[in-house]
Structure 1
Amino acid sequence: MFIGGFATFALLYSTQPLLPLLTTTFKISPAYASLSVSAGTAALALMLIPASILSDRLGRVPVMKWALALSAVISLLCVMVSDYHQLLILRALLGATLAGLPAAAMAYLGEEVAPAAQGKAIGLYIAGNALGGMSGRIAAALLTDLGGWRISLLVLGLLGLAAAIAFWRTLPSSRHFRARAAALNRIAGDTRTILADTSLPWLFLTSLLAMGAFISVYNYLGFRLVDHPFQLSQSAVGAVFLLYLIGSWASALAGQLADRHGRHRVQWIMVLIMATGLALTLSDTLLVLLGGVGIFTFGFFATHSISSSWVAHRGKAQRGLATAIYLSCYYLGASFIGSLTGYAWDWGKWYGLSTAIAACLALLMGVVLRLRWLARQQVL
């Protein structure tokens, strides 16, 4: 599962560090260039629920295996595009096929891992996501400096294919999966049950806001770092994604803390950490800025890990659909907020962007405090 999460996010976000280069190569705006990321995340968001229903019917393991294999092939096709529109189409197809893995992953872990260890297990899966996202971005930046953006996408596609083969050969079979018919009345009933839950809709909102804020920072960070006063190279900008290592650690740590102290007691602190990191990114001192991005990254992955395990816990019989809705909101936040904040960047550069992100974090804090109150009411 770590390998699967690693490959998924290495492929999905491989164009993110290349956005300034795509802007100049195809003569497009930063906001339009960000669609090379957003097209994939939007397609993934739209396909998560159908993929979840398919995994309920056919099984978690086959859906995840085919999703990763097809995605690796589509990633290799991106090398052959002749214009930006073709790249966008293939990136959207990539997101659509990748959906099968995250749609089934948390349900698979929820079914196969003991409840007392689910927080840690899901934290480790998300740590793989973070490490894959980091490695894909860094490799794309370095390979682009060496041989151009097509070479970088080619190498990442081959690595994705190797990961798919390893995943296919080694993933343990399901022992506790029970197939459920893909009947519309059952799906509608499950959806009503999920939306009637006291906490799940609020958790879906946390995913949308947190991911929207997070992806906005990394989408436009490269534009700031290649500009005055930093003027970093493409490789140096890619190296910034080493901060994702903090996310890998934060995911596992947050899972352990949530298991020990309760999710509602830990989550709001992590949002506060995100806000602190964002404030530090306003500095024009490179080390302070990067420290702020690192703190922001820690807070985000911790928040996401807590929310993910919470959804897997509360989903119960509807766990697969609940996690799919959660992730749909997550990637809709990445695509919608991640592109919309591009206009804030166009308007006020980093200060305009930070204002928009701060608004997302204020809403997010309100949501997690609501979850804290609900959890306390249930305990009391």
Structure 2
Amino acid sequence: MQDSIEAGTPAFRRTAYALAAAGFSTFAVLYAVQPLLPVFAEEFGVGPAASSLSLSLATGLLAVSLLVVSPLSEVFGRKPVMVVSLFSAALLTLVAAAMPTWHGFLAVRALAGLAMSGVPAVAMAYLSEEMHGRALGLAMGLLISGNSLGGMAGRLLSGALADRLGWRAALAAIGLLALAAAIAFARGLPPSARFTPRPLPWRAVPGSFLHHFRDAGLPWLFAEAFLLMGGFVTLYNYIGFRLLAPPYALSQTAVAAIFAVYLAGTASSTAAGHAASLFGRRRVLWLAIAAALGGVALTLAESLVLIVLGIVVATVGFFGAHSVASSWVGRRARRDRAQASSLYLFLYYLGSSVLGTAGGWFYAQAGWTGVAAFVGALYGAALLAALRLALLAPLPEAP
């Protein structure tokens, strides 16, 4: 078996760039609809919570299908599954842009979520297998940086283009961008060197997932995924409704421009991954969550400057916490790593789907104050889980 990949080597750079392209494509496709929720509500005559289904159905189907696609990668290999996933999601996005009805559009978005499931958990498993333990935190941070860049680019482009050309042209542009990223990924990612495909007895699949719940730390990390992502998506789902309305009355382009704060998430995920490698994950995770909680509190201000600052701080904290928690899953799972990654991401996207839509009820009942209180409660619970994780004894160093 070949040696694991060390940071700073040509193999590390090729792998990091290819997986960053995959994360970019996946998150651009997934979240391009988020700034368009008010547009969908007006054009199709639905409410804020119903418009969020264009995102929540995709993330929900993605979450459930992760549990099937991850075992398939044990049979067919990591790279082939990811390649098929990326091309399928890009093509379905082009189809969604042409759908004439709301229900048809939602159906295609759900299928796109299904297609996207081949990337997130498999990419994490690929890194956990191929990277040296010292390089894993940095590599995972770079992957999540690609995620945040894709999420930012998808939101910015769709919001800005929708103002000028309409939402259909905006989604078509995202589909073409995702197609280019899929090509770059297929050409750039090295084949697995430390993984051997194996027949998977499907009767053993439930056990390959459930044994992770006997670990002292993994269930708490799975809970972090659900709480953190649910709160983060809720924040971004409904901030547009607040800022498009008086007294702010911003344009669609101006609201979309706020998603440029994802650049801060890009930097924080890489920095947090590096800090976790130096100082330990248990010391970094709770600090990142506390920062996110402080950012949510800032959004309660009336000043637009403070609201945007709060979104920046919450974004930095979220991406830092996600980078640390996701790499920690790969570190603690000694076997069936793809399944462990899938469970983390299942709850990550389930939180996005369920809690992101539930936030619409809080917005309808109490406006932004209700949303901030809901997200604050989620992040408060995540902080308690992080403090529990800080008490874990470290595992022996892995090669």
- For the residues of structure 1 that align with 2:165 and 2:395, how far apart are their CA atoms? 58
Distance apart, 1:120 and its partner CA: 0.3
Please state if 1:349 is matched with 2:367: yes
Distance apart, 1:192 and its partner CA: 3.2
- Which of 40-49 and 158-167 deviates more? 158-167
Residues 303-318 of structure 1 mapped to structure 2, 5 A cutoff: 303-318=321-336
Where in structure 2 are there 5+ consecutive unaligned residues? 1-18
One-letter amino acid matched to 2:201: A
213 and 249 in structure 1: CA distance in 2 versus 1, 3 angstrom threshold = same
- For the residues of structure 2 that align with 1:235 and 1:182, how far apart are their CA atoms? 49
- Which of 86-95 and 183-192 deviates more? 183-192
Please state if 1:118 is matched with 2:136: yes
- For the residues of structure 1 that align with 2:36 and 2:358, how far apart are their CA atoms? 19
Distance apart, 1:228 and its partner CA: 1.2
378 and 319 in structure 1: CA distance in 2 versus 1, 3 angstrom threshold = closer
Distance apart, 1:362 and its partner CA: 1.5
- For the residues of structure 1 that align with 2:207 and 2:165, how far apart are their CA atoms? 53
Task: Identify the residue that residue 149 of structure 1 maps to in structure 2.
Answer: 167
Task: Identify the residue that residue 88 of structure 2 maps to in structure 1.
Answer: 70
- For the residues of structure 1 that align with 2:274 and 2:184, how far apart are their CA atoms? 28
- Which of 354-363 and 86-95 deviates more? 354-363
One-letter amino acid matched to 1:336: V
Of 346, 349, 369 in structure 1, the residue corresponding to residue 387 of structure 2 is: 369
Q: How many aligned residue pairs are there?
A: 379
156 and 377 in structure 1: CA distance in 2 versus 1, 3 angstrom threshold = closer
Of 279, 282, 285 in structure 2, the residue corresponding to residue 267 of structure 1 is: 285
Please state if 1:335 is matched with 2:330: no
- For the residues of structure 2 that align with 1:376 and 1:9, how far apart are their CA atoms? 32
One-letter amino acid matched to 2:85: A
- For the residues of structure 1 that align with 2:395 and 2:205, how far apart are their CA atoms? 30
One-letter amino acid matched to 1:366: L
Task: Identify the residue that residue 273 of structure 2 maps to in structure 1.
Answer: 255
Task: Identify the residue that residue 93 of structure 1 maps to in structure 2.
Answer: 111
- For the residues of structure 1 that align with 2:265 and 2:386, how far apart are their CA atoms? 20
SS in 1 for 2:71: helix
Please state if 1:224 is matched with 2:266: no
Task: Identify the residue that residue 239 of structure 1 maps to in structure 2.
Answer: 257
Please state if 1:52 is matched with 2:70: yes
- Cα deviation, 1:6-35, whole Å, max 9, x if unaligned, reads 000000011100011111000100000001
Of 177, 188, 191 in structure 1, the residue corresponding to residue 206 of structure 2 is: 188
- For the residues of structure 2 that align with 1:188 and 1:133, how far apart are their CA atoms? 32
Distance apart, 1:52 and its partner CA: 0.4
The two structures have a TM-score, normalised by structure 1, of 0.98
- For the residues of structure 2 that align with 1:269 and 1:26, how far apart are their CA atoms? 42
Please state if 1:8 is matched with 2:26: yes
- For the residues of structure 2 that align with 1:342 and 1:17, how far apart are their CA atoms? 15
Query: Contact 2:38/2:48 (CA < 8 Å) preserved in 1?
Result: yes
One-letter amino acid matched to 2:199: A
Query: Contact 1:208/1:330 (CA < 8 Å) preserved in 2?
Result: yes
- Which of 75-84 and 211-220 deviates more? 75-84
Residues 12-23 of structure 1 mapped to structure 2, 5 A cutoff: 12-23=30-41
- For the residues of structure 1 that align with 2:364 and 2:313, how far apart are their CA atoms? 25
Identical-pair percentage: 42
- For the residues of structure 1 that align with 2:39 and 2:359, how far apart are their CA atoms? 19
- Cα deviation, 1:231-260, whole Å, max 9, x if unaligned, reads 100000000000000100010000011111
Distance apart, 1:377 and its partner CA: 11
Distance apart, 1:44 and its partner CA: 0.4
Query: Contact 1:274/1:297 (CA < 8 Å) preserved in 2?
Result: yes
One-letter amino acid matched to 2:40: L
The two structures have a TM-score, normalised by structure 2, of 0.93
Where in structure 1 are there 5+ consecutive unaligned residues? none
SS in 2 for 1:316: coil
One-letter amino acid matched to 2:176: L
One-letter amino acid matched to 2:307: L
- For the residues of structure 1 that align with 2:177 and 2:274, how far apart are their CA atoms? 31
258 and 29 in structure 1: CA distance in 2 versus 1, 3 angstrom threshold = same
Of 266, 273, 276 in structure 1, the residue corresponding to residue 294 of structure 2 is: 276
SS in 1 for 2:147: helix
Q: Is the helix fraction higher in 1 or 2?
A: 1
- Cα deviation, 1:278-333, whole Å, max 9, x if unaligned, reads 11000111111100100000000000000000001111221110001100000000
Query: Contact 2:224/2:385 (CA < 8 Å) preserved in 1?
Result: yes
Please state if 1:325 is matched with 2:336: no
Cα RMSD (Å) = 1.3
- Cα deviation, 1:127-151, whole Å, max 9, x if unaligned, reads 0000000000000011101110000
- Which of 173-182 and 352-361 deviates more? 173-182
Of 179, 192, 210 in structure 1, the residue corresponding to residue 228 of structure 2 is: 210
Task: Identify the residue that residue 174 of structure 1 maps to in structure 2.
Answer: 192
Query: Contact 1:264/1:375 (CA < 8 Å) preserved in 2?
Result: no
One-letter amino acid matched to 1:78: A
- Which of 33-42 and 363-372 deviates more? 363-372
Distance apart, 1:378 and its partner CA: 9.8
- For the residues of structure 1 that align with 2:218 and 2:190, how far apart are their CA atoms? 29
Distance apart, 1:366 and its partner CA: 1.3
Distance apart, 1:160 and its partner CA: 1.1
- For the residues of structure 1 that align with 2:213 and 2:161, how far apart are their CA atoms? 45
Query: Contact 1:49/1:103 (CA < 8 Å) preserved in 2?
Result: no
One-letter amino acid matched to 1:132: G
Query: Contact 2:332/2:395 (CA < 8 Å) preserved in 1?
Result: no
